[in-house]
Amino acid sequence: MTSQNQILFEKSLKLIPGGVNSPVRAFRSVGGTPIFFKKGLGSKLWDADGKEYIDYINSWGPMIVGHAHPEIIAAVQAVAANSLSFGAPTGLELEMAEMINKLVPSIEQVRLVSSGTEATMSAIRVARGFTGRNKIVKFEGCYHGHADALLVKAGSGLLTFNDANAKGAPSSAGVPAEVVADTLTLEYNNTQALEDLFSKIGDQIACVIIEPVVGNMNLIVPKMEFLQTLRALCTKHGAVLIFDEVMTGFRVALGGAQALYNIKPDMTTLGKVIGGGLPVGAFGGRKDIMQCLAPLGAVYQAGTLSGNPVAVTAGLTTLKIIQEKGFHEKLTAQTKKLVNGLVQMAKDAGVTFSAQSVGGMFGLYFMKTCPASFNEIMQSDKEAFNKFFHSMLDSGIYLGPSAFEAGFVSAAHSDADIAFTIEAAKKAFSAI
């Protein structure tokens, strides 16, 4: 019998390239038909055929308190009734700026945008304007949105769809080589490579942008020494250190990875959780850097829907909820419980597997030990992951459809959800 998912996908293929509005949704890496969703509540989702799933994607991070949280829905409905957009300042965006400043103290000033891509693209422009330098440094496998200059060795979506192995070349067609000529790429967690680069051209580097915990080549945890050296080198050479906390912000800890590791970047980019599921991004940091922005300074950046009242309300309400006492401790513990259970099931089934978590983010790897870099994660068994993914999906567990995606747990995931997931994994591992 043809499912509603299949019918919708076949129709979508005719009108939307690849049938999807963002490539990883197409299931190309794992094969099969993407799931079309109708409804979400708490930790659960229901697809077009009415099948129920426990959701470990959480809209790729934003749904940290679960789907359709009643407080968020009520707040959004109330604000929406006063108009959806003004294209002018509101008190809500000020409240958001105050909230971000309180939770992420390295952000002295902040500007709101509508996506993570806009946040990173704008942060880099500001860093270049501030330093008067052109070169930017990123790390292999880190994704910072789809702005041209950042599409080099750029993480999960591109790992799945393109040959991202050519060093220094754009990982997307349509990006001229000249546009990425000033984008330098280093191996994540490789302190020596960092020192070598800075010793050669440190004074030409405008900024270094990094996922302080990587979620875009699966989950990769930073070595403390690597992050500390990076901070010291940027300070020594006057390069702007940008922590891209679009994924880690408010998720690995209330103050993000910078609070967890006690490292203060010069600039931070945010997204996902600050919109609570609606489109909000932000970039901010040191006041002297942020004051380069128009209308004060010479760096131009703008947005019709920036600071949109409805989107900001969803984000603000989410940020209020996650400040409840013990929120992150519980999220971290639930995520650990999931990861430990999965490792045990794999061990029992004799499957080569490892897993780890940071706060509410987790990584599953079909390899002996948790990877520390792009090259290491590339050694994982993709076929084993694909089998595992489909078995889990059949059991009603919705994981990221690629061996190179991190997973997300929300505060709505109950002990029963975790136990059900581990039981489903037992079956999935035994089938590998």
Ligand X SMILES: Cc1ncc(COP(=O)(O)O)c(C=O)c1O
Tell me the β-bridge partners of 339.
Answer: none
User: In the complex, what is the shortest distance from the CB of residue 394 to ligand X, in angstroms, rounded to a whole number?
Assistant: 27
- 8 Å CB contact between 206 and 240: yes
Q: Cα-flanking dihedrals φ and ψ of residue 212, to 5°?
A: -65, -25
Nearer to ligand X, 211 or 376 (CB): 211
271 touches ligand X by CB under 6 A: yes
What are the tokens at 108? 């002295």
Nearer to ligand X, 2 or 304 (CB): 304
Q: Which member of 55, 93, 187, 244 binds ligand X (CB under 6 A)?
A: 244
- 8 Å CB contact between 389 and 43: no
In terms of Cβ atoms closer than 10 Å to its own Cβ (0-12, 13-18, 19+), residue 68 is middle
User: In the complex, what is the shortest distance from the CB of residue 252 to ligand X, in angstroms, rounded to a whole number?
Assistant: 12
60 touches ligand X by CB under 6 A: yes
User: In the complex, what is the shortest distance from the CB of residue 199 to ligand X, in angstroms, rounded to a whole number?
Assistant: 28
Number of residues that bind ligand X (CB under 6 A): 16
Reduce the DSSP state of residue 407 to 3 states and report it: strand
Catalytic residue among 244, 266, 336, 417: 244
- Strand pairing of 267-270 and 240-244? parallel
Instruction: Please choose, out of 173-181, 240-248, 259-267, 295-303, the segment that lies near ligand X by the rule CB under 6 A.
Output: 240-248
Q: Select the residue whose beta carbon is closest to ligand X and give its number.
A: 116
User: In the complex, what is the shortest distance from the CB of residue 209 to ligand X, in angstroms, rounded to a whole number?
Assistant: 9
Catalytic residue among 53, 143, 188, 261: 143
Q: Which member of 93, 140, 187, 211 binds ligand X (CB under 6 A)?
A: 211
Nearest-10 Cα torsion for 91, 95, 98, 99? -170
Query: Which of 116, 62, 96, 38 lies closest to 411, judged by CA?
Result: 62
What are the tokens at 67? 């789907």
Nearer to ligand X, 234 or 270 (CB): 270
- Where are the strands (E) in 62-195, listed by range? 109-113, 135-139, 183-186
Reduce the DSSP state of residue 76 to 3 states and report it: helix
Nearer to ligand X, 180 or 432 (CB): 180
Query: Which of 158, 80, 64 lies closest to 378, judged by CA?
Result: 158
User: In the complex, what is the shortest distance from the CB of residue 281 to ligand X, in angstroms, rounded to a whole number?
Assistant: 6
Confirm whether 244 is a catalytic residue.
Answer: yes
Question: Which residues in 305-364 contact ligand X (CB under 6 A)?
Answer: none
Task: Identify the H or E element spanning 258.
Answer: helix 257-261
Q: Which member of 137, 247, 278, 292 binds ligand X (CB under 6 A)?
A: 247
Question: Which residues in 88-127 contact ligand X (CB under 6 A)?
Answer: 115-117, 120
Angstrom CA distances, 344 to 347, 352, 372, 404, stand at 5, 11, 22, 21
User: In the complex, what is the shortest distance from the CB of residue 362 to ligand X, in angstroms, rounded to a whole number?
Assistant: 15
- Strand pairing of 281-285 and 267-270? antiparallel
What are the tokens at 115? 């996506």
Site string for ligand X, 126-165 (x = CB under 6 A): -----------------xxx--------------------
User: In the complex, what is the shortest distance from the CB of residue 116 to ligand X, in angstroms, rounded to a whole number?
Assistant: 2
Q: Which member of 5, 122, 185, 216 binds ligand X (CB under 6 A)?
A: 216
Q: How far apart are alpha carbons 115 and 332 in whole angstroms? A: 26
Q: Which member of 246, 310, 364, 422 binds ligand X (CB under 6 A)?
A: 246
Instruction: Please choose, out of 89-97, 210-218, 293-301, 317-325, the segment that lies near ligand X by the rule CB under 6 A.
Output: 210-218
HSE, CB side, 13 Å, CA atoms: give it for residue 328.
20
Instruction: Please choose, out of 208-216, 259-267, 307-315, 331-339, the segment that lies near ligand X by the rule CB under 6 A.
Output: 208-216
- Strand pairing of 52-55 and 109-113? unpaired
Confirm whether 272 is a catalytic residue.
Answer: yes
- The angle at the Cα of 269, spanning 116 to 20, to the nearest 5 degrees, equals 15
Nearer to ligand X, 90 or 117 (CB): 117
421 touches ligand X by CB under 6 A: no
Confirm whether 143 is a catalytic residue.
Answer: yes
What are the tokens at 218? 């699966």
Residue ranges that bind ligand X, judged by CB under 6 A:
60, 115-117, 120, 143-145, 211, 215-216, 244, 246-247, 271, 281
Q: Which residues carry out catalysis?
A: 143, 244, 272
